[in-house]
């Protein structure tokens, strides 16, 4: 395995470790200072965001890194049009939820979710752009800043100002609105051409359609839990799922730099050699 790939893996796994540590600390804060019902309300709003995000064609997140690694930088701009059109549906659904819960804390959070929906769902694509450009060092810096600011925001809101889930949720949304927007527009400035593979859009649509079931199962389950058992059950589900996901994420971080090298390799024999090398790692996923 080449030295640049090892360095990329180091940055990738460092990103995971930093996010895992700060994520656990943030989870400690929210579980200690927020009531399970309030935390469940916030997670319910996030679950609805995740559900309606399917209209923005999330398959682009899977395909963009591979096409960028092959120097098709126009893939990003060509994906944006479809995603923005689909985001209108998501914003409308969130706004309707806000109107339905109007006058309550949940209603305010849904209105805020509608405002940040495009940065939260589409501009967060900066990570996959950087991945396709093999810039794992920048991913480490960007996601590191995001995790640090989210943790300190939670710490200040919950422990110093002793506020509840409303200010906590709004502060988290505000950080993501600012950082995702800044990161995205900086990242697209790194693109150097407008080349587009003619199969890119159809390929991405196919990935989206095949992945729809997987995309909607988890948020739908949380929405059903909220309806049947109340927001406390959503909070408990979120905590257990967050912890279980951490183990598999470590292996995925190791795979990302290698998969980008495979995508950009032009020689079939080189791809075969790299595939043989990653087989032991892939068995851990």
DSSP letter, residue 135: -
Q: Residue 233 corresponds to which tokens in the numbers above? A: 């059950």
What percent of the chain has a predicted confidence (pLDDT) above 90? 66
Q: Is a pLDDT exceeding 70 seen at residue 41? A: yes
Which pLDDT score, from 0 to 100, does residue 5 have?
A: 75
Q: Select from 274, 281, 284 the least CA-distant residue to 2.
A: 274
Residues with Cβ within 8 Å of residue 153, at least 6 apart in sequence:
171, 172, 175
State the sign of the Cα–Cα–Cα–Cα dihedral 257, 259, 263, 267. Answer: positive
Which pLDDT score, from 0 to 100, does residue 281 have?
A: 46
What global pTM score does this model have?
Answer: 0.87
Q: Select from 208, 180, 205, 190 the least CA-distant residue to 68.
A: 190
Which pLDDT score, from 0 to 100, does residue 251 have?
A: 58
Residues with Cβ within 8 Å of residue 46, at least 6 apart in sequence:
113
Residues with Cβ within 8 Å of residue 193, at least 6 apart in sequence:
71, 73, 74
191 three-state secondary structure: coil
Which pLDDT score, from 0 to 100, does residue 128 have?
A: 95
- Say if residues 140 and 15 touch (Cβ distance below 8 Å): yes
Unique residue bearing structure tokens 């951490």? 246
Average pLDDT (54-75) is 94
- Say if residues 195 and 69 touch (Cβ distance below 8 Å): no
pLDDT tens by residue, 101-158 = 999 999 999 999 999 999 999 999 999 999 999 999 999 999 999 999 999 999 999 9
Based on its alpha-carbon atoms, the radius of gyration of the chain, rounded to whole angstroms, reads 20
Which pLDDT score, from 0 to 100, does residue 182 have?
A: 97
Residue 214 — very low, low, confident or very high, per pLDDT cuts 50/70/90?
A: confident
Cα distance between residue 10 and residue 21, in whole Å: 16
pLDDT tens by residue, 232-282 = 888 888 877 776 676 666 556 555 565 655 555 555 555 445 544 544 444
Average pLDDT (44-50) is 95
Average pLDDT (11-19) is 89
Cα distance between residue 238 and residue 229, in whole Å: 14
- Say if residues 184 and 46 touch (Cβ distance below 8 Å): no
Q: What's the mean pLDDT when you consider all of the chain? A: 87
Q: Residue 257 corresponds to which tokens in the numbers above? A: 């730099």
Residue 81 — very low, low, confident or very high, per pLDDT cuts 50/70/90?
A: very high
Which pLDDT score, from 0 to 100, does residue 92 have?
A: 98
Average pLDDT (180-185) is 97
Distance of CA 73 to the CA centre of its chain: 21
Residue 160 — very low, low, confident or very high, per pLDDT cuts 50/70/90?
A: very high
Which pLDDT score, from 0 to 100, does residue 185 have?
A: 97
């Amino acid at each position: 395995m080449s030295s640049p790939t090892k360095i990329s893996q180091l940055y990738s796994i460092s990103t995971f470790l930093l996010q895992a540590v700060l994520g656990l600390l943030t989870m400690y804060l929210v579980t200690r200072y927020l009531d399970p019902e309030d935390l469940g309300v916030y997670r319910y709003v996030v679950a609805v965001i995740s559900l309606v995000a399917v209209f923005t064609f999330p398959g682009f997140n899977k395909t963009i890194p591979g096409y960028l690694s092959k120097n098709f930088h126009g893939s990003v701009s060509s994906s944006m049009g479809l995603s923005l059109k689909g985001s209108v549906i998501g914003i409308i659904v969130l706004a309707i939820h806000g109107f339905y819960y109007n006058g309550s804390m949940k209603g305010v959070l849904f209105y805020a979710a509608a405002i940040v929906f495009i940065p939260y769902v589409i501009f967060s694509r900066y990570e996959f752009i950087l991945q396709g450009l093999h810039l794992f060092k920048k991913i480490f810096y960007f996601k590191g800043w995001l995790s640090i600011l989210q943790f300190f925001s939670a710490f200040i809101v919950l422990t110093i100002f002793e506020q509840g889930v409303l200010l906590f949720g709004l502060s988290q949304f505000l950080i993501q609105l600012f950082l995702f927007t800044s990161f995205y527009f900086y990242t697209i400035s790194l693109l150097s051409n407008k080349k587009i593979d003619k199969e890119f859009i159809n390929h991405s649509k196919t990935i989206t359609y095949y992945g729809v079931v997987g995309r909607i199962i988890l948020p739908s389950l949380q929405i059903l839990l909220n309806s049947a058992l109340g927001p406390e059950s959503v909070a408990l589900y979120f905590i257990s799922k967050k912890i279980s996901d951490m183990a598999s994420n470590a292996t995925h971080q190791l795979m990302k730099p290698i998969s980008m090298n495979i995508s950009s390799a032009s020689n079939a024999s080189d791809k075969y050699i790299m595939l043989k090398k990653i087989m032991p790692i892939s068995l851990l996923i």
